[in-house]
């Protein structure tokens, strides 16, 4: 699924929630079921600096798509990571760069994003974009 299709799907899912508790119960559930993070990458090198909780992010390329492993010690952050991975994991670098990051706001998670500046999620979004940028520029310089 392309990032934009994934965002539309998420928007449909979130439209079903009538209050914050349902929304959070869903995010917490996603967090509990996030795929396991490879332990060899739980190092300072892959740590996204945050104040409130710890976040690890390991981006890598498989073929012509970008993949991510990520984890946090806070389950709500893990749930938000799961949302980000639905959008970005397995996309091409160009697709990632073409996807605006404001979907987190349009999903009604804006309140949380302002906090996430502190707990590392905004930093993670930025890292994903920077990684995609690096991959894309390598592709472009190889083809030129």
Which positions are catalytic? Answer: 51
Residue 20: partners with Cβ closer than 8 Å, 6 or more residues away: none
Quick check: 75 binds other proteins (CB under 8 A)?
A: yes
Tell me how many residues contact other proteins (CB under 8 A). 18
Quick check: 43 binds other proteins (CB under 8 A)?
A: no
User: Does an H or E element contain 68, and which?
Assistant: strand 65-72
Quick check: 127 binds other proteins (CB under 8 A)?
A: no
Adjacency order of strands within the sheet including 55-62: 47-48, 55-62, 65-72
Residue of the chain from 4, 17, 28, 47 that contacts other proteins (CB under 8 A): 28
4-12, 49-57, 101-109, 129-137 -> range binding other proteins (CB under 8 A): 49-57
45-53, 89-97, 124-132, 135-143 -> range binding other proteins (CB under 8 A): 45-53
Cα Rg, the chain, nearest whole Å: 15
Distance CA 68, CA 124 (A): 11
Provide the minimum distance between the beta carbon of 52 and other proteins in the complex, in angstroms, as a whole number.
4
- Asked if 87 and 3 count as a contact pair (C-beta separation under 8 A), the reply is yes
Residues near other proteins (CB under 8 A) are 20-21, 24-25, 28, 51-54, 73-77, 111-112, 115, 119
């Amino acid at each position: 699924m392309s990032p934009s299709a994934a965002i539309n799907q998420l928007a449909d899912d979130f439209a079903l929630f009538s209050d914050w508790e349902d929304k959070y119960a869903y995010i917490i559930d996603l967090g509990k079921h996030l795929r396991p993070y490879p332990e060899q990458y739980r190092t300072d090198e892959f740590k996204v600096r945050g104040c409130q909780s710890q976040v690890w992010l390991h981006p890598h390329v498989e073929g012509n798509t970008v993949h991510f492993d990520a984890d946090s010690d806070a389950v709500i952050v893990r749930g938000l990571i799961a949302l980000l991975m639905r959008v970005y994991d397995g996309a091409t670098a160009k697709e990632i760069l073409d996807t605006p990051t404001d979907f987190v706001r349009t999903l009604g998670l804006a309140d949380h994003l302002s906090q996430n500046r502190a707990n590392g999620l905004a930093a993670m979004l930025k890292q994903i974009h920077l990684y995609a940028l690096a991959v894309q520029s390598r592709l472009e310089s190889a083809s030129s």
